[in-house]
Structure 1
Amino acid sequence: MNLFVIGFGYTAQRVVDLHGSGFSRITGTVRSAEKRALLAADDIYLFDGTRPADATLAKAAQADIVLISVPPGSGDDPALTAFGDAITTGRARRVIYLSTVGVYGDHQGAWIDEATPLAPEHDRVQARVRVEQEWQARIGDRLTVLRLGGIYGPGRNALVELRAGRARRIVKPGQVFNRIHVDDAAAAVMAAVRCGKGGAWNIVDDEPAPPQDVIAYAAKLMGVAPPPELAFDSAELSPMARSFYASNRRIRNIRAKQELGLVFTYPTYRAGLDALWAAGEGR
């Protein structure tokens, strides 16, 4: 299988690091020359949102699997605009789009699943829904949408934030968030590669949890006092950070387990943090 990756971000890079041996060739795009130099690969091309070079489009058309991990812009989606025709008419049997559980909007802490109507509340998640729908209209059952919870893992976790002095225990009564360890997100991508049908699946762990609990557990592992609780109403947050707290829901992952055959290595944030601490994170 040839894999073409649009955007070697945190999750896409983890897919390659853990499962790259399952592909005969891996090509793709990055936004900057600096990132390309870090990857040190000849088959990585620059893509800044404008029309790609013909050689880049040819690689996309020749791919058996396409993984799209770049977020949409404020207007037309750059990946869809640049690569839509090449992928639609190309040989890809599976196009995997990494989306977000934010497309469901706010449900006041209630449990929801893939049958729940999409109700995006902000521009960035409204754009996600448009992109999901536009890819679906173009390629139909060849499309797999993975709606990811908050991604954490090596280098990006509560242990690292605590050690750096950036962690805050912001408390909004009743608020929970859905999370997923990056290794389980990568496993979901590979499950989608193997799956014989398209669809949309929620990729979240088993336990939506209050954000302050995650920080407190990380502090316990480190043997340090957790930061004091800070009321949400008095917390200084960026508009984007504050918007995350406007949506509150508990998301089921049953369909992903049943239809993609997923068995999560880290079914709770505690399991994930335990493994990260054992690996030396936050020390």
Structure 2
Amino acid sequence: MTETATSFRLFCFGFGFSARALVRRLLEAQGTEADWTVAGTTRSRENAAELRAAGVEAYLFDRTHPLDPAALQGTTHLLVSVAPDDPDDGKGADPVLDCHAEDIAALPALRWIGYLSTTGVYGDWQGAEVDETSELRGAKGRNLRRIAAEAAWLELQAERGLPVHVFRLAGIYGPGRNVLDQVRAGRARRIDQPGHLFSRIHVDDIAKTLQASMARPCPGRVYNVCDDEPASAAEVTAYACELLGVTPPPPIPLEQAGLSPMALSFWEDNRLVSNRRLHEELGVTLDYPDYRAGLKAILAEEQAGEVPHSRE
């Protein structure tokens, strides 16, 4: 440890794509401004073993298997990416709060909590712009549970003074999880739905945003996390094909695409998500401000052998 570095402990409820990106970013700067220890949860013994091999304190957790509260001791920063559920016993939608709200509230050194939500909470605005003050119209299933979970975390902040921040993430992509892999696998489709744009965000820019919030906490604040250029799915697919030098698939109407109910649900809502607060309050300049920058960078990393083509 350097003389000026401060020691922090990050605990991640859920150790998925976004959490791993944040941990990589923090550890890359290890010792320059802070020294980090990292702990997190998973539902799989295999994943727990993988995390431990990488130097992460790993614990098994779900609603039916709560943690020993001692696992949280020493935590200064808490990231929650566990999805809300629909319990049969009438409890709240968020398993972390149901199992550990009191344990979290009792942590003496806690200085930042990040709850990862989704822009799906806004529901359908028929293409109009939404920001963090807009009405939440997500009227179905998983979006209703997200709205309830957000409210529960923000209520905990208001009542107990905890440093809770909510991050509403757009569609996440990054190395091993992107349209380039879909094109290579022959699964990409170019769905033609005029006037329907999607927001997206590169996973490394999620990590950059979370790190900026850690440095400038503003408890109770909500942030939209998306890039600067909403775009149609057809446009993004065509660009991926261009990068790979293949002919793009023909456009097909949405009603002929044969999508699963889950996939189709993403097309039911149409909105433009504003990220002004991310730029103005957190001072974040995105590394990948649009899908072109993100996909070009992923392809360059693949060609340099830095990442595999797919992690599916």
Offset at residue 42 of structure 1 (A)? 5.8
Q: Distance in 2 between matches of 1:25 and 1:222?
A: 40
1:127 aligns with 2:145: yes
Percent of paired sites with the same residue: 43
1:113 aligns with 2:131: yes
SS at match of 1:145: strand
TM-score of the superposition, structure 1-length normalised? 0.95
1:86 aligns with 2:103: yes
What amino acid maps onto 1:81 in structure 2?
D
SS at match of 1:160: helix
Offset at residue 237 of structure 1 (A)? 1.1
Q: Which residue of 2 aligns with 1:265?
A: 287
Equivalent pair of 2:10/2:75 in contact (CA under 8 Å)? yes
Change (3 A) 1:171 1:134: same
SS at match of 2:191: strand
Q: Distance in 1 between matches of 2:284 and 2:41?
A: 28
Structure 1 residue corresponding to 2:21, chosen from 14, 17, 25: 14
What amino acid maps onto 1:156 in structure 2?
R
SS at match of 1:24: strand
1:174 aligns with 2:195: yes
Equivalent pair of 1:61/1:87 in contact (CA under 8 Å)? no
Change (3 A) 1:51 1:23: farther
Change (3 A) 1:216 1:50: same
1:71 aligns with 2:83: yes
Q: Which residue of 1 aligns with 2:57?
A: 43
Mean Cα displacement is larger for which, 37-46 or 27-36? 37-46
SS at match of 1:279: helix
Equivalent pair of 1:184/1:265 in contact (CA under 8 Å)? yes
Q: Distance in 2 between matches of 1:9 and 1:132?
A: 19
Change (3 A) 1:185 1:53: closer
Q: Distance in 2 between matches of 1:235 and 1:155?
A: 24
Equivalent pair of 1:69/1:97 in contact (CA under 8 Å)? yes
1:224 aligns with 2:246: yes
Structure 1 residue corresponding to 2:11, chosen from 4, 20, 35: 4
Mean Cα displacement is larger for which, 199-208 or 78-87? 78-87
Higher helix share: 1
Offset at residue 103 of structure 1 (A)? 0.6
What amino acid maps onto 1:83 in structure 2?
H
Offset at residue 164 of structure 1 (A)? 1.2
Offset at residue 166 of structure 1 (A)? 1.4
Equivalent pair of 2:120/2:138 in contact (CA under 8 Å)? yes
What amino acid maps onto 1:216 in structure 2?
A
1:103 aligns with 2:121: yes
Q: Distance in 1 between matches of 2:67 and 2:199?
A: 38
Q: Distance in 2 between matches of 1:119 and 1:83?
A: 29
1:245 aligns with 2:257: no
Q: Which runs of 5+ in 1 are unaligned?
A: none
What amino acid maps onto 1:101 in structure 2?
T
Offset at residue 173 of structure 1 (A)? 1.7
SS at match of 2:302: coil
Equivalent pair of 1:153/1:182 in contact (CA under 8 Å)? yes
**Offset from partner CA, 1:18-77 (integer Å, 9 cap, x none):** 2233443111111100111222246110113224242xx223243111000111012332
Q: Distance in 2 between matches of 1:105 and 1:175?
A: 14
Equivalent pair of 2:26/2:36 in contact (CA under 8 Å)? no
Q: Aligned ranges for residues 156-171 of structure 1 at < 5 Å?
A: 156-171=177-192
Q: Distance in 2 between matches of 1:120 and 1:97?
A: 18
What amino acid maps onto 1:12 in structure 2?
A
1:62 aligns with 2:62: no
What CA RMSD, in Å, does the superposition of the two structures yield over aligned residues?
1.5
Mean Cα displacement is larger for which, 85-94 or 14-23? 14-23
